[in-house]
Each structure stands twice: as C-alpha cells, then as structure tokens.
Amino acid sequence: MPTVAVPPQVPRVLRLTRTILLVVALALVLSACVTPALNAADYRDKALGSAEAATSEVGTAKLVCGLLLRERVLQSTADETLGASEDALGSISDSLLAVQPPRGADPIYLRLATQLDRAESAVRDARIAARRSDTDALVDLVGRMDTILADLAATEELLA
Amino acid sequence: MKRGLAVALGILTAIGGFVDIGDIVTNAQVGSRFGLALVWVVVTGVAGICVFAEMSGRVAAVSGRATFDVVRERLGPRVGLMNLVASASITLLTFIAEIGGVALALQLATSINYFLWIPLVGFLVWVVLWRVKFVLLENVFGLMGLALIAFGVAVWQLGPDWGDLWEQAAQPGTPPGESAFTYWYYAVALLGAAMTPYEVFFFSSGGVEEKWKTRDIPVMRANVFVGFPLGGVLSISIAAAAAVVLLPMSIQADTLGQVALPVAVALGKIGLVVVLVGFFAATFGAACETGLSVGYSISQYFGWQWGKYVRPREAARFHLTILLGTILGVAVLLTTVDPIKVTEYSVVFSALALPLTYFPILVVANDRDYMGQHANSRTANALGTLFLFIIGVASLAAIPLMVVTKAGQ
C-alpha cells in the first residue's frame, strides 16, 4: 500500500508569530515610504509637511544661535544640534524633490524648493559660524533665519 | 533606621531608573507638538505599570521565582513562548535604542560622532553586566538618573503660565494643525513608553536576585507606588519643558539635542551639563536593565541558570545570551539606522505587545495555588482587568495608526 507523505504541521504559535512579524514588517514599510502625490491636494499636503518640518529645523538653529550668543549652551551640543538640523533639512529637501509635482503645482514647488535651499544654506552657515565662534556672523544669521521663518510661515498659510 | 534608608534608596533609584530613552524622546516629541494635552496618557500608563509591577513583584516575593518561569509552568510552553517572543523582541529593540541613546548623549557632550561611541558603549554595557554587582548597577545609575530633575527645575525657572499649562492638561484635545489620528498615535506611543515590558521583568527578576520574601512586600510596594509615579512626574516635566519652549517656536523635538534645549534656555551651561549626565545615566542604566532583561526572559523560559548573584561560569548561557544581544544591538546600530527612529518604533511595538506580556502576569498573580493568601485582591483584579482592556485597545490600534499617520508625521 502506497504511503502518502504528510507535510509536517507548523505549530500554531509559530504561525501566529510569523503572521505578527509579517504585519509588523508591512507596517514598517508602509509607514516609512515616501508615497507619490496622486493629485494637487496630496502634493499640497506633502509640501505643507515639508514647510512645517523646515520651520522646526530653522527654529532650532535660530534658538541655538541665540543660546551661543548668550553663552548658555555647550559648544559641542550647539555643534551637534546645528549639524543635525542641517542634515534634516537636506532630507526634507530630498524627500520633496523626489515627489513628482502634478500639473499646476509648479509655483508651490518652486517657492518651497527655493525656501528649503535658503534654509539649508543658513543653517550650514550657522554651523560654520558656531565652530569658529564668530559672533558677528551669528548675529547676522539670526536675522537671516527670522526672514526665512517668516517666508516659511507665509508658505504654510498658503498651503493650509 | 536602616530599613528606612533602604526604602528611601529604593524609591530614589525607582524614580531615577524609571525614565529611559523611550520616555525622554516620546515625552519631548509630544510636549513640542501637543503641549500637555496627552499628560493623561502618562498618568494612565504610570498607574498601569504600578499595578502590574506590584503583581510581578508580589509573585517574585511569594514564589521566589521569576515571571517567565511561573508563566511557562502555569500557562504552558506555547502561551509562554508567545509571551517570550513578544516581550524579548520588544526588549531587544529597546536595548538597541538605549545603546544608541547613550552614544547620542556622548556625542552631544563631546562632538565625537555617535557611530564611534556605539562599539565602546556596547563593550562597556557588556563589561558592566559581566562584572558589576547588581545592587551597585541598580543604585548608581538610578541615582544618577535623578539629574533629569533639571527638566522640572527648568520649567519652574522659565516661569510659564501655570494656568495655561493646567488647562492644556485638564482639557485634552487635538491642537490646531494636528490630526486626531496623530494625537491617538502619540497616545499609544506614550502608553508603550510608560508601560515598557522590560521594566516589569527587570523589577521582578531583581526581586528574585535580591531574594525578596513576603516580608519585603511593603518595601516593594513603596518603591512601586511612590517611586514609579515620581518617575512619571519626571516624564511629564520633560513634556512640559518642551511645551513651554519648543511648542511656541514650532520646533518638533526629533533629536536628543532638541530635547535638551529648553534646559539650556532656562539654566544655561550648568543645567545642560546636568541634563547630559541625566541622559547618559538614564540610557546607560536602561541599557543594562534591558540587556539583563533579554537574558532573564530567555533563560527563565528555557529553565537555564540565570542571574547576577551566581558566578558567570555557573550561568554561562545567561551571559552568552546577553553577549549575543549586545553584539546584535551594536551591529544593528552600525547599519546607520537612526537610534531615535528605533526608539519611536520600539515604544509603538511595545504597545502592540503589552497584552501578551501583562495578561499572563494577571493570571499568575491571581492563582491561589501559587500565591496563597497573597493572591490578587478584588481591587487588584479589577484594576488589572481595566488596564488589560486599555492596553488591548492600544495594541489593536497601534499598527493601523502607525500606517495612517506614517509613524506620527
């Protein structure tokens, strides 16, 4: 009599664990991807998110510059915080540029791309000035960042 | 007198040891985006961890056995394995986040890139877990962690509008510009951060290591019901400092440097140095606790000899597990994964795994065969069931909220 090979049964606990791990992996992928902008409204949402994130980083850099001028922050902490803000602005800019703007969204794209470029440049200059302990440059940069923050706020208002 | 000092020391270390990288990052993020509108979650989470820590401490004191040991025996190897997989994987993720947190704190203090610190931190954690006595480890980092009180001092020094802060806390709601989904995503994350499973396993395993007896239950309860809530106050002060300084400037606290800035604004360089010491102590202490917890949970499930009170040679598999966990943690961090992102994910996945971790504790603490007259009272059962329901809802909502909000963006 021929024997039928019975596939080994996977224990229920292992199957459940495998399912949970798959769900977790899927959630990680879904929450970490830069999704495409399907329409103008979607693009505006992404642009608004970028403007808000940029405001946060420029605000951080301005706060650190102010603390450096009042000698209330350690050089190492200021240096690292400014470096992190600069890196974050680079990522924000890259993420926005990676999204294809839909028809009619060019004015938003150009406006925000310019502002992000200015923001990144100002924060980079702030990091350099902080490392050189150049107080005159830091004073100038605080003013420059005020202007950038005002422009970003206007963009956020436009997109909201 | 001596007993009083022991109680005081236990409470102080419980306060300082309560806060870890998950609490620091999540509370600062929430404070900078929602003000104090999510303080109720921290209060709920602290109450929940008190309920379950007390139960697991009681199990350790009465049975002289650690949680996983009893859970496996009482609920069988399959349920025990599910409990183990959920808890150990979350604890390992938290361990990775803590090592990254130590490296980030050192980077803020020295300007040396954190990647260079990661292998050294991993090595130091392993050496401490290998050589340093349990009591010393618990007390030194717990007491140093009290440096985070600088956040509370900073809030007081900043002189905020206390009425406004109270209103934010007392009338919670979604602030303008934030969606309800994001609000609830961070509520789940805060609950996960406050009720991290390793805290309970470390607490109860520590009880077995220190040979708690039933006469030690009052001291254990004092540590839990006084120390943990005061640790929760530290967490809230981190959120409050961010709410007072960062929120009005639209700064979202996404890095450890941003988290520390409110203290620099209020207290200058000295305050900043104190906070950096607090960051280091909180994360290093938690790295040791999570590293040990990984070893505890796996060894207790498989019935291996474990613990810091036996010589490493006698608990070789326990120490090997810790060593492998440390190597894995360092290796993961050296892939350039962002430690803050690991922290953010660890607290949300922690929320996902909470029911699998805490349900067995409730069952065991309620079993009169094990606990005799020290089994759960009706109040303890009611509270345990209530918190189990809350963490069950949070667990179900965690992944959908993570996907919908793109991890809180």
- Per-residue model confidence (pLDDT) at position B4: 72
Handedness of CA B372, B374, B379, B384 (dihedral sign): negative
- What confidence tier does B394 reach under pLDDT thresholds 50, 70, 90? very high
- Per-residue model confidence (pLDDT) at position A37: 60
- Per-residue model confidence (pLDDT) at position B246: 97
Q: Residue B391 in 3-state DSSP?
A: helix
- Residue A10 near chain B (CB below 8 Å): no
Mean pLDDT of A110-118: 94
CA–CA distance, B361 with B51 (Å, rounded to integer): 10
pLDDT 10s digits, B45-72: 999 999 999 999 999 999 888 877 888 8
CA–CA distance, B244 with A66 (Å, rounded to integer): 17
Q: Which helix (H) or strand (E) holds A135?
A: helix A135-159
CA–CA distance, B194 with B24 (Å, rounded to integer): 10
pLDDT at B133 exceeding the cut of 90: no
pLDDT at B100 exceeding the cut of 90: yes
pLDDT at B295 exceeding the cut of 90: yes
CA–CA distance, A154 with A160 (Å, rounded to integer): 10
Residues of A in contact with B85 (CB under 8 A): 17
pLDDT at B16 exceeding the cut of 80: no
CA–CA distance, B57 with B61 (Å, rounded to integer): 6
B149 compared with B197, residue with greater pLDDT: B149
DSSP for B323-368, written as a single string: HHHHHHHHHHHTTT--HHHHHHHHHHHHHHHHHHHHHHHHHHHT-H
- Per-residue model confidence (pLDDT) at position B68: 78
- Report the candidate in A92, A32, A31 with the shortest Cα–Cα distance to residue A57: A92
B381 compared with A42, residue with greater pLDDT: B381
pLDDT 10s digits, B297-341: 999 889 898 888 888 888 999 999 999 999 999 999 999 999 999
pLDDT at A48 exceeding the cut of 60: yes
Handedness of CA B376, B379, B381, B384 (dihedral sign): negative
pLDDT at A22 exceeding the cut of 80: no
Amino acid at B147: A
Under a CB-based contact definition with an 8 Å cutoff, are residues A96 and A34 in contact? no
Beta carbons within 10 angstroms of residue B202's beta carbon: 26
- Per-residue model confidence (pLDDT) at position A4: 55
- What confidence tier does B294 reach under pLDDT thresholds 50, 70, 90? very high
Query: What is the value of ipTM here, to two decimals?
Result: 0.89
- Per-residue model confidence (pLDDT) at position A7: 53
Amino acid at B347: V
- Per-residue model confidence (pLDDT) at position A32: 58
Length of chain B: 409
pLDDT at B370 exceeding the cut of 80: yes
- Contact residues, chain B to chain A, C-beta under 8 Å: 78-79, 81-82, 85-86, 107-111, 177, 245, 249-252, 254-255, 257-258, 260-261, 264-265, 268-269, 272-273, 276, 345, 349, 352, 399, 402-403, 405-407, 409
Q: Residue A70 in 3-state DSSP?
A: coil
Nearest to A79 among B85, B111, B251 (CB): B111
Q: CB-based burial of residue A91 (10 Å sphere; 0-12 exposed, 13-18 middle, 19+ buried)?
A: exposed
Under a CB-based contact definition with an 8 Å cutoff, are residues B61 and B212 in contact? yes
- What confidence tier does A38 reach under pLDDT thresholds 50, 70, 90? low
Percent share of chain A, pLDDT over 70 = 78
Catalogue the long-range contacts made by A9-17 (C-beta closer than 8 Å, 24 or more residues apart).
A11/B78, A12/B78, A13/B78, A13/B79, A13/B81, A13/B82, A16/B82, A17/B82, A17/B85
Percent share of chain B, pLDDT over 90 = 64
pLDDT at A35 exceeding the cut of 70: no
- Please report where in the chains the tokens 């990522």 appear, as a residue: A91
pLDDT at A13 exceeding the cut of 80: no
Handedness of CA B352, B358, B360, B366 (dihedral sign): negative
Under a CB-based contact definition with an 8 Å cutoff, are residues B295 and B318 in contact? yes
CB contact under 8 A, A31 and B249: no
Q: Residue A23 in 3-state DSSP?
A: helix
- Per-residue model confidence (pLDDT) at position A27: 67
Residues of A in contact with B272 (CB under 8 A): 72-74, 77
Mean pLDDT of B264-269: 96
Residues of A in contact with B407 (CB under 8 A): 31-32
Measured at the CA of B401, the angle between CA B256 and CA B193, to 5 degrees, comes to 40
Under a CB-based contact definition with an 8 Å cutoff, are residues B172 and B38 in contact? yes
- For the record, the structure tokens of B25 come out as 């990052």
Measured at the CA of A56, the angle between CA A60 and CA B180, to 5 degrees, comes to 140
pLDDT at A2 exceeding the cut of 60: no
CA–CA distance, A80 with A78 (Å, rounded to integer): 6
CB contact under 8 A, A77 and B264: yes
Nearest to B403 among A31, A67, A84 (CB): A31
pLDDT at B180 exceeding the cut of 80: yes
- Per-residue model confidence (pLDDT) at position A8: 55
CA–CA distance, B129 with B292 (Å, rounded to integer): 7
- Per-residue model confidence (pLDDT) at position B188: 94
Mean pLDDT over each residue of chain B, to the nearest integer: 91
- For the record, the structure tokens of B395 come out as 């667990």
pLDDT at A135 exceeding the cut of 90: yes
CB contact under 8 A, B403 and A76: no
Mean pLDDT of B123-142: 89
